Structure 1
Amino acid sequence: FKLLLTGNITLLIAPKMIRFIYFTLFVLLTLGIILIIRGTSEQKSTNQCDCEGEHSYPTSIGKSLFLYLLFIIPITTGFLFANNVLDSSVAMNRTIKLGASSSDTNQIKTIKNNKNTEKTNSTSDKNKTSSTVNNKNNFDNQPEPLTEKEYKKLKTDMLRTKNININDQLYVPMMSIIQDNLQDMIGKTVSTKGFVYREKNFMQNQIIVARFGISCCVADASVYGMMAKGNVTALPKDKWVQVTGVIAQTQFDGGTIPIIKIKQISKIAAPKQPYVFDVGVKIE
């Protein structure tokens, strides 16, 4: 209830799952009301069990206090604990998807019953890529999967433009397109934002501009990002930055990945929704 009231529930689960949390809250609230009514009712009822001896409530203050603390402590701690966003300490224990190839398991999904899917066109600022995106669901505020046609149009727009702005709604597919068409992307200007992450073997002028992508909840979160190179020595880890630079290629862990040669970098505040969503591509 606290997480729903404050809106921090999206720090733990994807917005599309919130409807199930509301349902659970309603069921538990209903059961709680029923149990309160039954527990405070003057009507006497006899419960039989296959055991010897009588059952009764604790008779002393100490026993009663111990019994109720078993319920009170877990409830109060839920209100006392802070809400934390996933950061470098979690990223270091997971595989970093630098470029997010479309061959990843979660990138392409088959979805049926798509007749009611609404679509809208979203055009970016001047001299930046334009793309067709789906409307956000009014309930969960999470992007719908792209259709194959929309994905192809997004790819065409990115290949044609000289300036690419990686937005939150299409973060994963745009990163995938850059990786899969790296030779055609070299020399283009790209702008992206994320938190600062460093691998142990990185040079002082190298960072990863990273984002956590989730499908259902933070337990399945994957780390996406793009390597960047420039004057970043003084940047602390987990600091959010906006990076603009030129796409090049480099070798990392035996593979070829994109890298941003930084032209401009600025510190920014962490967005209200720090995670991106792997919306996938709808196979019709």
Structure 2
Amino acid sequence: MKKSDEMNTFHHLIRGIILIGFMLLLFKLLLTNNITLLIAPKMIRFIYFTLFVLFTLGVLLIIRGTSVQKHPYHCDCDGQHSYPTSFGKSLFLYLLFIIPITTGFLFANNILDSSVAINRTIKLGASSQDTKPSKAVKDTNKTNVTAKSNDTLTNQHEPLSETEYTKLKKDMLQTKRINIKEKTYVPMMTIIQDNLQSMIGKTISIKGFVYREKNFMQNQIIVARFGISCCVADASVYGIMAKGNVAALPKDKWVQVIGTIEQTQYDGGTIPSIKIKQISKISTPKQPYVFDAGIQIE
């Protein structure tokens, strides 16, 4: 076998192994359910297709790389294709793929926190506000509501129908105590903002991590969650302001807050806030993110 053929065989083999490596990494994320720390559950169906494609291409390249048969290494396109000719170039090229695979297996997954939130849009009561305190609050905008809401809504990762959203809104307006749950987080925050006058005085229970903006007073925090529509790259911060004895709470600490809904002014806009009656530290939930699936127009 010529030296060029040996090099081509080597490149096919290493590329096949890299594809299998990515396939195994995705498979590991699926088995541990850590895939939802990277993408929204509605995207998982595409990961299964990706697994199949990576496995198929990886096996074909490995078979080709270990085959004693000679194969023509050309295509009918106009451009010329060639493999790296030196060891240094090959090493640099393949390390770009091998390092992410290795770190994915060796290191634990990190969740988004305040260091990321400071550069993202903060949605207080599901209203869009610039993360920088020097900017004025923008007009309240309706956001897409998230996943299926209560026990009667079975699939939390599909869009709410208009009927389901209307029922959720009616239930929230009629009850005196509102429990914000992961499955209903975004639509419930939207309903509170859009119907703030009717929500004032109701008791609310909510979980999230402690986040502060630079211009906050010592008695102010945001009880926040990262909301994801597609993947962590598009994550926004949803939350509600809370006021009370919170000066000693460290940022990013997860808490459960129980209190009374009020309204307050912040940077020129009216937003909901919680007058804290009880606050307790909790452990980070297994699924720290909430998912925004939208409303299905009927």
TM-score (norm 1): 0.81
Could you tell me which amino acid in structure 2 is paired with residue 24 of structure 1? T
Distance change in 2, residues 1:100/1:108 (3 Å): same
CA apart distance, 1:266: 0.4
> In the alignment, which residue of structure 1 is the partner of 2:29?
3
- Aligned to 1:26, which of 52, 72, 94? 52
Structure 1 Cα separation of the partners of residues 214 and 106 of structure 2: 34
Structure 2 Cα separation of the partners of residues 182 and 174 of structure 1: 12
> In the alignment, which residue of structure 2 is the partner of 1:190?
204
- 2:69 aligned counterpart, secondary structure: coil
* Unpaired stretches in structure 2, ≥5 consecutive residues: 1-24, 129-139
1:119-198 to 2 correspondences below 5 Å: 122=151, 133-136=152-155, 142-198=156-212
CA apart distance, 1:93: 1.0
> In the alignment, which residue of structure 1 is the partner of 2:123?
97
Distance change in 2, residues 1:74/1:151 (3 Å): closer
What RMSD in Å do the two structures reach over aligned CA positions?
3.0
CA apart distance, 1:182: 0.9
CA apart distance, 1:72: 3.7
Q: Percent identity?
A: 77
Structure 2 Cα separation of the partners of residues 245 and 56 of structure 1: 64
Greater per-residue helix proportion: 2
Structure 2 Cα separation of the partners of residues 34 and 45 of structure 1: 13
- Aligned to 1:45, which of 53, 59, 71? 71
> In the alignment, which residue of structure 1 is the partner of 2:43?
17
Q: Which moved more, 1:92-101 or 1:214-223?
A: 92-101
* Unpaired stretches in structure 1, ≥5 consecutive residues: 110-118, 123-132, 137-141
Distance change in 2, residues 1:171/1:121 (3 Å): closer
Distance change in 2, residues 1:17/1:104 (3 Å): farther
- 1:231 aligned counterpart, secondary structure: coil
Structure 1 residue 75 and structure 2 residue 101: aligned?
A: yes
Structure 1 residue 107 and structure 2 residue 133: aligned?
A: no
Structure 2 Cα separation of the partners of residues 13 and 67 of structure 1: 27
Aligned length: 257
Structure 1 Cα separation of the partners of residues 288 and 123 of structure 2: 17
Could you tell me which amino acid in structure 2 is paired with residue 107 of structure 1? N
Structure 2 Cα separation of the partners of residues 189 and 55 of structure 1: 66
- Aligned to 1:243, which of 239, 247, 257? 257
Structure 2 Cα separation of the partners of residues 87 and 55 of structure 1: 42
CA apart distance, 1:161: 1.0
| Bigger RCO of structures 1 and 2 (CA < 8 A, at least 6 apart) | 1
Could you tell me which amino acid in structure 2 is paired with residue 182 of structure 1? L
CA contact (8 A) 2:42 2:157 kept: no
CA contact (8 A) 2:150 2:183 kept: no
Q: Which moved more, 1:273-282 or 1:228-237?
A: 273-282
- Aligned to 1:87, which of 110, 113, 126? 113
Distance change in 2, residues 1:120/1:206 (3 Å): closer
Q: Which moved more, 1:177-186 or 1:76-85?
A: 76-85
